Every structure is written in C-alpha cells, then in structure tokens.
C-alpha cells in the first residue's frame, strides 16, 4: 500500500491507508505523534538584531476609532450564516497537542463563545472533536442561547475516492449531524486529497443535493487550489467559503490569484495559522528559532516548517520587528492600548486581503481569549500594511498554490 501524506487543515502526518473501509479515516494519536515530526523543517537558531529605525508610518495621522470596535467580535456573512470574524478551532482535540478532558474542552468552547467568538470549527477526522462540540451545542440549545453557536465542520475525502457514492456521502453527513446535535450542518467545508481522481466535482455536487434537501445549510471548501475551486463553482457548487493556511509567513492564497478570485465570486476565505503557533509573537522577537524541544506540538512543528520556507530566521526577525513597530504605532495612536505582534499578524491577514472573512484560532485553553478579541479593536492603516508587505515581498516561499507542497506538487 502506498503511503500518503496527510496535512489536512494543519494535521501533518504520514499514514498508510487501510484497504477495508470507505469511511472517513481518523488518524490515531500514535500516528500523529510519531509521524508529524518527520514533516517539520528545521530552522536556523541564530537571532539577528539590527538598530532600531523609526518606521515610515510613525508620523502618519490615523483615526483613533475602528470600524470593528463597535462590537467585541464582529460577524461576516458566509451565505446565510453570520460567522464571527474570529473562529474557535478544534483540530487540537485530534491529538498531538497534549492530554485534555472533554469537560475542559467544553468549558473552553463556552468561554470563547461568551467572549463573542460564536463560531466553532471541527472536522470528521478530528478524533472526538465533533462529538464533544455536539455536547456543547446541545447544552447551549437547551438553555436557549442567543445567538446560537455555529458549529462548522468538514467533509474529508482522501481514500477510495473513485468509489464514493451518494449513499456514502449522505450516510456520513447524517452521522455528522448526529454527532454535532444539530438539525442540519451550518457549513460543510469539503476536502479532496488526490486531484488525479477526477471525481471531486461529482462529490461536491452530491453535497449540493444534500443542501437542497436541507441537511446542509452552506457549502465551503478547504485546501483546494484555484483551478479546482473554479471547476466546482462552474459546475454549480454554491461554495461560500474556503478554509486555507494563510499568514504573513504563508501567502499562497494571494500569490496564486485565489484571493482575488474569491473576492470577485463572493467566496470568503477562512484563514488558519495566522500567528504560526506563536512564532508571530513577542516570544520569538530577538530570540532564536524554535528548538526541537519547543516544537512539541503538531502545530508548532508544522508552522516551524512554514517559517523555514518563508526564509532564513533573519528574515523572520525582520518581519517580527516590523510587526512590533506597527503594534507600537497602534498603541501610541490610541487605537488599541495593548496591541501586540499577534494582534498585528491577525489584522494583517484581515486588512491586507479583502477576501478574508475570518481568522481561525486553535484553542487549547482560555489563556488567549482577551488577546484574540482585542484583534477587533483596531484596523491597520495602508502604510502599516505596506510596511509589512515590504518584508513579505522578500520571502523565498512557500511556493505554489494552496496545499501544493502538502500534495507533493512543489
């Protein structure tokens, strides 16, 4: 059996596909822990410092009010859904991020919801994530919580692709409805592993039929390239969202032309990895690159690889210094008293690319709730975006379109 590489929505691992079942494959925790390290790229470990230079945007006159500060976390339309512009992500429940108790995960969901992050993200391959999220949804619905939390999920196809039929698609969707405790799935983000199996449009149309039957409210995609997005859209698949890895370190959705196409076709991008598992934060400013010991989660190993493709560590440091200067300018102009590098990194994704509807944060605890909400207290000026763009333009990669590297095309 030929090994296949899985890096689905950030889940980096190598696994050998079993030959007896067509059902969605859930990677074991052992597979996650033992194989994901092999996919990580090493980084140079020397931090490079340089004299502090006053940034060009420091004297710019800016408004002290934000068009997003009227509400803690604003929402954006994705089809019929009002999706929060920050989304709770629960890939971490699949393994590779340490032990947890389901009741603690539910408490995290509730705390983030109460802070205004009302949309959640899971997938059929994220271990018990859908089931745990379903318990949270059921508890909130029983209380009559308004607005109701929105549990987005994914429909992932990466083996026995040529044998998937309508019965399998419907059976799997009904199982997801049962696990999430909802009458219909709010947003199903569709993934297809191998483009050489040309059935991806057919299966997308099967999902469209289930939308027409009321089992799915909206259809999205995840980790497709632009060519295949166009094929599905042209075939009549009503895609309203596309979840992709996107940050200052990973500009593949922009450089491929995907972001422009999505804007023209009212497809909202949902960006994950916006702070690179904390690499884009004060923790790594004027500090060495993450050591092997620090790369102790699946997320950190993956985003360390992204940073190494972006350029050498001196370029990452230049990006961090620029973002730090921007954060200081945001603070000094009264737009956000506690703005930091991570806030600027998230705002860069939201402000530099109009097609982006929401950023997705990985949730393991409640430590960063206030920080993530704070991202919506301000916006970046064009000069601040330009300063970051100037550094990003010097990148070496990642090359290609969305998920080209992970599929082995680059």
Q: How confident is the model over 303-355, as pLDDT tens digits? A: 999 999 999 999 999 999 999 999 999 999 999 999 999 999 999 999 999 99
| pTM, to two decimals | 0.87
Separation CA 260–CA 302 (nearest Å): 26
Residue 409 confidence (pLDDT) above 50? yes
pLDDT level of residue 62 (50, 70, 90 thresholds): low
pLDDT level of residue 11 (50, 70, 90 thresholds): very low
Higher pLDDT, 87 or 296: 87
Secondary element (H or E) of residue 121: strand 119-121
Mean pLDDT for the stretch of residues 150-162: 97
Residue 30 confidence (pLDDT) above 90? no
Mean pLDDT for the stretch of residues 63-78: 70
Position 61 scores a pLDDT of 57
Burial of 408 (0-12, 13-18, 19+ CB in 10 A): exposed
pLDDT level of residue 55 (50, 70, 90 thresholds): confident
Position 57 scores a pLDDT of 80
Separation CA 364–CA 90 (nearest Å): 8
Mean pLDDT of the residues in the chain? 88
Secondary structure of 331-357 in HEC code, one letter for each residue: HHCCCCCCCCHHHHHHHHHHHHCCCEE
Preceding peptide of 191 cis, ω within 30°: no
CA distances from 102 to 55, 94, 249 (A): 46, 12, 33
Kindly report the number of other CB atoms within 10 A of residue 266's CB atom: 13
Least reliable range by pLDDT among 13-22, 153-162, 221-230, 344-353: 13-22
Q: What is the pLDDT of residues 195-210, one digit of tens each?
A: 999 999 999 999 999 9
Residue 12 confidence (pLDDT) above 90? no
Burial of 103 (0-12, 13-18, 19+ CB in 10 A): exposed
Report whether 220 contacts 78 (CB < 8 A). Answer: yes
Mean pLDDT for the stretch of residues 104-119: 98
Considering Cα of 198, then 200, then 204, then 206, what sign does the dihedral take? positive
Please report how the helices 102-114 and 129-143 are oriented relative to each other, as an axis angle in degrees rounded to 10: 50
Kindly report the number of other CB atoms within 10 A of residue 41's CB atom: 12
Kindly report the number of other CB atoms within 10 A of residue 166's CB atom: 13
Considering Cα of 8, then 399, then 343, then 189, what sign does the dihedral take? negative
Residue 2 confidence (pLDDT) above 80? no
Q: Could you tell me the two tokens for 214?
A: 């009321």
Secondary structure of 151-220 in HEC code, one letter for each residue: EEEEEEECCCHHHCCHHHHHHHHHHHHHHHCCCCEEEEEEEECCCCCCCHHHHHHHHHHHHHCCCEEEEE
Q: What is the pLDDT of residues 234-287, one digit of tens each?
A: 999 999 999 999 999 999 999 999 999 999 999 999 999 999 999 999 999 999
Dihedral pair phi/psi, residue 348, rounded to 5°: -60, -45
Position 7 scores a pLDDT of 44
Burial of 197 (0-12, 13-18, 19+ CB in 10 A): middle
Q: Could you tell me the two tokens for 308?
A: 């190494």
> In the 8-state DSSP scheme, what is residue 288?
P
Position 58 scores a pLDDT of 75
Mean pLDDT for the stretch of residues 287-304: 94
Q: Could you tell me the two tokens for 361?
A: 């944060």
Residue 36 confidence (pLDDT) above 80? no
Separation CA 255–CA 310 (nearest Å): 13
Position 23 scores a pLDDT of 40
Q: What is the pLDDT of residues 112-125, one digit of tens each?
A: 999 999 999 999 99
SS3 257: coil
Position 82 scores a pLDDT of 98
> In the 8-state DSSP scheme, what is residue 40?
P
Q: Say what percent of the chain tops pLDDT 70.
A: 84
Position 53 scores a pLDDT of 56
Position 100 scores a pLDDT of 87
Residue 46 confidence (pLDDT) above 60? no
Considering Cα of 32, then 37, then 38, then 40, what sign does the dihedral take? positive
Position 278 scores a pLDDT of 96
Residue 295 confidence (pLDDT) above 90? yes
Separation CA 192–CA 158 (nearest Å): 6
């Amino acid at each position: 059996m030929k090994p296949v590489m899985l890096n689905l929505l950030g889940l980096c691992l190598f696994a050998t596909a079993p030959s007896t079942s067509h059902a969605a494959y859930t990677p074991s925790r052992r597979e996650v822990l033992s194989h994901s390290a092999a996919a990580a790229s090493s980084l140079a470990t020397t931090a490079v410092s340089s004299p502090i230079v006053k940034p060009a945007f420091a004297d710019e006159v800016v408004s002290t009010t934000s068009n997003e500060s009227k509400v803690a976390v604003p929402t954006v339309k994705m089809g019929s859904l009002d999706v929060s512009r920050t989304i709770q992500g629960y890939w971490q429940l699949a393994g590779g991020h340490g032990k947890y108790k389901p009741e603690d995960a539910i408490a995290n969901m509730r705390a983030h919801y109460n802070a205004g992050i009302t949309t959640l993200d899971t997938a059929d391959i994220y271990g018990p994530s859908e089931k745990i999220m379903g318990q949270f949804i059921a508890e909130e619905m029983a209380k009559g919580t308004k607005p109701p939390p929105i549990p987005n999920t994914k429909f992932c196809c990466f083996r026995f692709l040529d044998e998937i039929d309508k019965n399998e698609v419907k059976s799997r969707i009904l199982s997801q409805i049962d696990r999430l405790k909802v009458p219909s799935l709010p947003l199903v983000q569709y993934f297809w592993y191998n483009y050489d199996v040309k059935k991806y449009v057919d299966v997308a149309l099967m999902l469209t039929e289930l939308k027409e039957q009321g089992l799915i409210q909206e259809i999205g995609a995840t980790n497709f390239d632009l060519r295949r997005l166009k094929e599905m859209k042209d075939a009549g698949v009503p895609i309203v969202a596309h979840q992709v890895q996107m940050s200052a370190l990973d500009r593949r959705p922009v450089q491929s032309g995907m972001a422009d196409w999505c804007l023209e076709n009212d497809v909202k991008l949902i960006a994950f990895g916006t702070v690179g598992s904390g690499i884009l934060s004060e923790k790594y400013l004027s500090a060495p690159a993450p050591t092997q010991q620090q790369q102790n989660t699946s997320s950190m190993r993956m985003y360390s690889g992204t940073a190494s493709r972006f350029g050498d560590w001196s370029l990452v440091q230049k990006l961090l210094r620029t973002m730090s200067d921007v954060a200081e300018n945001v603070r000094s102009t009264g737009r956000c008293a506690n703005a930091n590098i991570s806030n600027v990194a998230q705002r860069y994704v939201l402000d530099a690319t109009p097609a982006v509807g929401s950023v997705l944060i990985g949730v393991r605890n409640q430590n960063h709730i206030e920080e993530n909400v704070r991202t919506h207290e301000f916006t970046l000026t064009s000069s601040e975006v330009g300063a970051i763009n100037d550094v990003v333009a010097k990148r070496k990669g990642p090359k290609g379109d969305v998920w080209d590297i992970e599929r082995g095309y680059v």
